Chains A and B, each alone.
Chain A
Amino acid sequence: MDQRGDKLIMNNIDKALLLGESFGLDTTNFTSSYIQGIIESDAYINLCENVKWAENFNLKNSSKLITDFKFINYDVSTFEESVIFASRINYLSSVSGEEYYINPLMSYSQPIKTRSIGDLMVSYQGSKHTFNELISDETHPLAYKTNIVVRQTEYYRKEASEKALSNFEKTSNNKGLAHIVHQQIWKMIWLALVALVFVVGSGYLFFCNVPEIQDMLRDWQFNNYIFYGPFIYFIFSLLLVLTWFGLFAYLNDSYSPYYYYKKLGRHRASKLYESINKRAQSLAEYVFQGIKDNRPLSNDIGKFNVATSDDELKTYTNMYGINKSYKYSLLTSFFKTEIIFCVIAALYTVACIWIARF
């Protein structure tokens, strides 16, 4: 194999070996160096980079590319297998570009490399061409080109609609998430009760005429051992209430999309479908106009995209993992620590009062 101009080229020696192998020619040494050449080739590096990039997009063709890449058979023992392996790599590399899977009707959370709808690939006559190539193609009649544009736009429309539907199904009728949210509400109620118990206890100590506490308040002395217990108890009771409110505010913020989308889900879904259909129609007309005017398309990739429910889905996914979030863990730990301190301070105070009385 040559690396002519950094491109993977199967040379005539490789072809002679390929033929000879069928007739008993020992190609063991050549096979390993051939494989090495493929792994180090620009095509393979390009494929790896493109697959990594494709992982950012949850689209039909990007998923297919990732699956195909995962299932490449690296277990190559004959020269013929290594040639098939090279062809597979070359093929996948040639169709791994973003323009093979990007759907112009969808919006993406990360920036994309493709600049124009004209660069997107469309398949006809058994091979892939860009929309701009279709526009400049003078070998086919207008009706043929129109048919291809309609077919491709329909593919985009269907993919965008299916994705929206799939996301709505994941969010609107999500019983698992509803269970998690309800559980979290009950947890917050229990925590509020616990905090309330400690606050009530604190109020009782300071406002319900416990003689030892009243004495302490009258005769303010830092060396009085009874002094620390009620004050620590009081401070941690307050902190407990503050932490509860912090936790409540955080959960309220995190779960608000759940209630919002639950309420508006169906309405939003129908609006989104309508929007996708309209944009698909406009896209087809736009490309069709480009064909009629023989004008290549440029800098228009975001012209027909529709805000899909990807971000919404992301929020939902985050809700599932809320128990593992840093903020939630920190606030819960605070709450637990404060309870422990409150309990210790309460026991200490009770013990002090008991010693003072007897």
Chain B
Amino acid sequence: MERLSISPKIYFTDLIEMAKYVYLYPGRFNVMFNKQAFAKTLRNEDKNKYQEFLNLKRQNFIPDIFVYKVSYILNPYMVLRYHHFKFESYKELGETMLSYGPIVDVYLKDLIIYHLLSEYMERMRDEKRQAKLYQQVKQAEHDSLNNANFAYWTLAFQLAETKTLIYNGHKFNKPEEFFRQVSVLSDLFPFSSSFLKNQYVIAWLSCLGYSSQVKRFKNLSELTDAKENEIAEKLSKEIAKEFITQ
């Protein structure tokens, strides 16, 4: 095979071996995969993979997804690896997701919203071996259409097989413990500003079985927002009307 390099010092002579390093240098590999030299090499090495590569190119994925998918065309049976992350097990993936809590890692979220995880499981024949987990992943992918962050954290707890909340490095097993900590004003402000957006605590409470309380909170919160918007709109209209009349 012709030598393919992503920098003067990093080069590859084996496509299968090269695929294992794609996750470490996604930017550089993106440049390489878009060059004629790579396409030519791939066509010479493996006609089927080249055909798959051409099909993939036509789908216009974002660079990260494109690079990931090319890497799995080159080597379909690697352990899960994506954008600097490499996971030996699904549990490890879940634990990594939780370790960043309450921050949602955008690259790990890609695994769900672009259906990369379920696709990986299918490739590894895990959809039957780990049927329950596969269903949870599919559910998360479906739920991510409505609430991506909630789906992300729910799946994280399921993959990690834990119900312990890791919040800014602190572990909490019960909601009472967590809210006691949050009631301190210095913690209340940062928590308040982000908890609705990141959905971490809400997903945790749901996983603990407090779905009815969470649902009630969501309904009440949405109802309040709707009513406030209605009255705000009405009062604005009245002010505008008065202004026009004057």
**Contact call B227/A23, Cβ cutoff below 8 A:** no
- Where chain B touches its partner, the secondary structure class is helix
What number of A-B contacts does a CB cutoff of 8 Å give? 93
- Residue of B175, B179, B188, B191 ringed by the most chain A CB atoms within 10 A: B179
In the complex with contacts A15-B196, A25-B182, A94-B223 CB distance below 8 A? no
Contact residues of A between 20 and 47, Cβ < 8 Å to B: 20, 22-26, 42-43, 46
**Contact call B230/A94, Cβ cutoff below 8 A:** yes
* Complex Cα spacing A337 to B230, Å: 65
Contact residues of B between 165 and 180, Cβ < 8 Å to A: 175-176, 178-180
* Complex Cα spacing A90 to B233, Å: 11
Contact residues of B between 205 and 246, Cβ < 8 Å to A: 205, 210, 213, 216-217, 220-221, 223-225, 227-228, 230-232, 234-235
* Complex Cα spacing A88 to B231, Å: 11
Q: How far is the CB of A298 from chain B (nearest CB, A)?
A: 12
* Complex Cα spacing A233 to B47, Å: 136
Q: How far is the CB of B149 from chain A (nearest CB, A)?
A: 15
* Complex Cα spacing A12 to B178, Å: 17
At the interface, yes or no: B192 with Cβ under 8 Å from chain A? Answer: yes
Using C-beta atoms within 8 Å of the partner chain, give the interface range for chain A. Answer: 20 to 34
In the complex with contacts A15-B192, A16-B191, A16-B192, A10-B235 CB distance below 8 A? no
Kindly list chain B residues whose C-beta atoms are within 8 Å of the C-beta of A11: 192
Closest residue on chain A to residue B225 by CB atoms: A10
At the interface, yes or no: A97 with Cβ under 8 Å from chain B? Answer: yes
Closest residue on chain B to residue A16 by CB atoms: B192
Q: How far is the CB of B28 from chain A (nearest CB, A)?
A: 41
The contact string, 1 if C-beta is below 8 Å from chain A, for chain B 45-83, is: 000000000000000000000000000000000000000
Q: How far is the CB of B144 from chain A (nearest CB, A)?
A: 22
At the interface, yes or no: A310 with Cβ under 8 Å from chain B? Answer: no
**Contact call A94/B189, Cβ cutoff below 8 A:** no
Q: Return the contact of A22 from the options B193, B217, B221 (Cβ within 8 A).
A: B217
In the complex with contacts A16-B195, A94-B234, A23-B224 CB distance below 8 A? no
Kindly list chain B residues whose C-beta atoms are within 8 Å of the C-beta of A94: 227, 230-231, 234
Kindly list chain A residues whose C-beta atoms are within 8 Å of the C-beta of B189: 13
Q: How far is the CB of A301 from chain B (nearest CB, A)?
A: 15
At the interface, yes or no: A153 with Cβ under 8 Å from chain B? Answer: no
**Contact call B192/A83, Cβ cutoff below 8 A:** no
At the interface, yes or no: A91 with Cβ under 8 Å from chain B? Answer: yes
Q: How far is the CB of B66 from chain A (nearest CB, A)?
A: 37
- Residue of B175, B188, B227, B235 ringed by the most chain A CB atoms within 10 A: B227
Q: How far is the CB of B243 from chain A (nearest CB, A)?
A: 15
At the interface, yes or no: A309 with Cβ under 8 Å from chain B? Answer: no
At the interface, yes or no: A7 with Cβ under 8 Å from chain B? Answer: yes
**Contact call B221/A18, Cβ cutoff below 8 A:** yes
In the complex with contacts A13-B192, A19-B217, A83-B220, A7-B182 CB distance below 8 A? no
Mind listing 17 A-B residue pairs with CB under 8 Å? A7-B232, A8-B228, A10-B224, A10-B225, A12-B195, A12-B196, A15-B196, A15-B221, A16-B192, A18-B220, A25-B182, A42-B235, A80-B220, A90-B224, A90-B231, A91-B227, A94-B230
Extra contacts besides A12-B195, A22-B217 (12): CB < 8 Å: A7-B232, A8-B228, A10-B224, A10-B225, A20-B179, A23-B178, A23-B213, A24-B179, A46-B235, A90-B227, A93-B234, A94-B230
Please report A residues at the B interface, Cβ cutoff 8 Å. 6-13, 15-16, 18-20, 22-26, 42-43, 46, 80, 83-84, 86-87, 90-91, 93-94, 97
